[in-house]
Chains A and B, each alone.
Chain A
Amino acid sequence: MSFLTIQDIHHTYFSNQTAATALADISLDIEKGEFVSFLGPSGCGKTTLLSIIAGLFPPTSGKILLENKPLDADSDTSIGYMLQQDYLFPWKTIEENILLGLKLIKKDEGLERIKTLKLLSDVGLGGTGKLYPRELSGGMRQRAALARTLAVDPKILLLDEPFSALDYQTKLKLEDLVFETLKSFGKTAVLVTHDIGEAIAMSDRIYLFSPNPGRVHKTFEVPDELRGLMPFHARNHPQYPILFQTIWKELESLEY
Chain B
Amino acid sequence: MNIEQLHKQYKTSLKKENRLIRLYQILIFLVFFSSWELFSRMEWIDPLIFSSPSKVWQLFLQKLADGTLLSHSGVTLFETVLGFIIGTLLGTILASLLWWSPRLSKTLDPYLVILNAMPKVALGPIIIVAFGPGFPSIISMGAIISIIITTIVVYTAFREVDPNYLKVLQTFGATRTQAFREAILPASFPTIISTLKVNVGLSWVGVIVGEFLVSAKGLGYLIIYGFQVFNFTLVMLALMIIAVFATIMYQLVELLERKLIKD
Q: Is A91 an interface residue (CB 8 A)?
A: yes
Contact between A83 and B263, CB atoms less than 8 A apart: no
Contact between A76 and B173, CB atoms less than 8 A apart: yes
**What is the size, in residues, of chain B's interface with A at 8 Å between Cβ atoms?**
19
Could you mark each residue 123-164 of chain A with 1 if its beta carbon is under 8 Å from any beta carbon of chain B, else 0? 000000000101000000000000000001000001000000
Residues of B within 8 A of A56 (CB): 167, 170-171
Once A91-B262, A104-B178 are accepted as A-B contacts, the answer to whether A83 and B168 lie under 8 Å apart by CB is yes
Question: Chain A CB within 10 Å — which of B170, B172, B178, B183 has the most?
Answer: B172
The prevalent SS among residues of A at the interface is loop
Using CB atoms, name the residue of chain B closest to A75: B173
> Could you tell me the distance between the alpha carbons of A77 and B164 in the complex, rounded to whole angstroms?
18
State how many angstroms separate the Cβ of B189 from the closest Cβ of chain A. Answer: 8
> Could you tell me the distance between the alpha carbons of A24 and B244 in the complex, rounded to whole angstroms?
68
Once A87-B162, A100-B182, A104-B178 are accepted as A-B contacts, the answer to whether A80 and B262 lie under 8 Å apart by CB is no
Residues of A within 8 A of B93 (CB): none
Contact between A89 and B186, CB atoms less than 8 A apart: yes
> Could you tell me the distance between the alpha carbons of A239 and B189 in the complex, rounded to whole angstroms?
53
Question: Chain A CB within 10 Å — which of B167, B173, B178 has the most?
Answer: B173
> Could you tell me the distance between the alpha carbons of A56 and B170 in the complex, rounded to whole angstroms?
7
Once A100-B182, A132-B262 are accepted as A-B contacts, the answer to whether A87 and B168 lie under 8 Å apart by CB is yes
The prevalent SS among residues of B at the interface is helix
State how many angstroms separate the Cβ of B260 from the closest Cβ of chain A. Answer: 9
State how many angstroms separate the Cβ of A51 from the closest Cβ of chain B. Answer: 8
Q: Is B100 an interface residue (CB 8 A)?
A: no
Using CB atoms, name the residue of chain B closest to A88: B168
Residues of A within 8 A of B186 (CB): 89, 91
Residues of A within 8 A of B131 (CB): none
Q: Is B174 an interface residue (CB 8 A)?
A: yes
Question: Chain B CB within 10 Å — which of A55, A77, A87, A158 has the most?
Answer: A87
Contact between A104 and B170, CB atoms less than 8 A apart: no
Contact between A101 and B172, CB atoms less than 8 A apart: yes
Residues of B within 8 A of A75 (CB): 173
Contact between A87 and B165, CB atoms less than 8 A apart: yes
Q: Is B169 an interface residue (CB 8 A)?
A: yes
A100 contacts which of B164, B172, B262 (Cβ < 8 Å)?
B172
Contact between A77 and B182, CB atoms less than 8 A apart: no
Q: Is A64 an interface residue (CB 8 A)?
A: no
State how many angstroms separate the Cβ of A251 from the closest Cβ of chain B. Answer: 28
> Could you tell me the distance between the alpha carbons of A91 and B182 in the complex, rounded to whole angstroms?
10
Contact between A81 and B182, CB atoms less than 8 A apart: no
State how many angstroms separate the Cβ of A192 from the closest Cβ of chain B. Answer: 14
Using CB atoms, name the residue of chain A closest to B168: A87
Residues of B within 8 A of A132 (CB): 262
Q: List 26 A-B contacts (CB under 8 A).
A: A54-B171, A56-B167, A56-B171, A81-B168, A81-B171, A83-B167, A83-B168, A85-B164, A87-B168, A89-B182, A89-B183, A89-B186, A90-B263, A91-B189, A91-B262, A100-B168, A100-B172, A100-B182, A101-B172, A104-B169, A104-B173, A104-B174, A104-B178, A105-B173, A134-B263, A152-B172
Residues of B within 8 A of A (CB): 162, 164-165, 167-174, 178, 182-183, 186-187, 189, 262-263
20 extra A-B contacts, CB within 8 A, seeds A56-B170, A87-B162, A100-B182 = A55-B171, A56-B171, A75-B173, A77-B173, A79-B171, A85-B164, A87-B164, A87-B167, A89-B183, A90-B263, A91-B186, A100-B168, A100-B169, A100-B172, A104-B169, A104-B172, A104-B173, A104-B174, A104-B182, A152-B172
Residues of A within 8 A of B (CB): 54-56, 75-77, 79-81, 83, 85, 87, 89-91, 100-101, 104-105, 132, 134, 152, 158
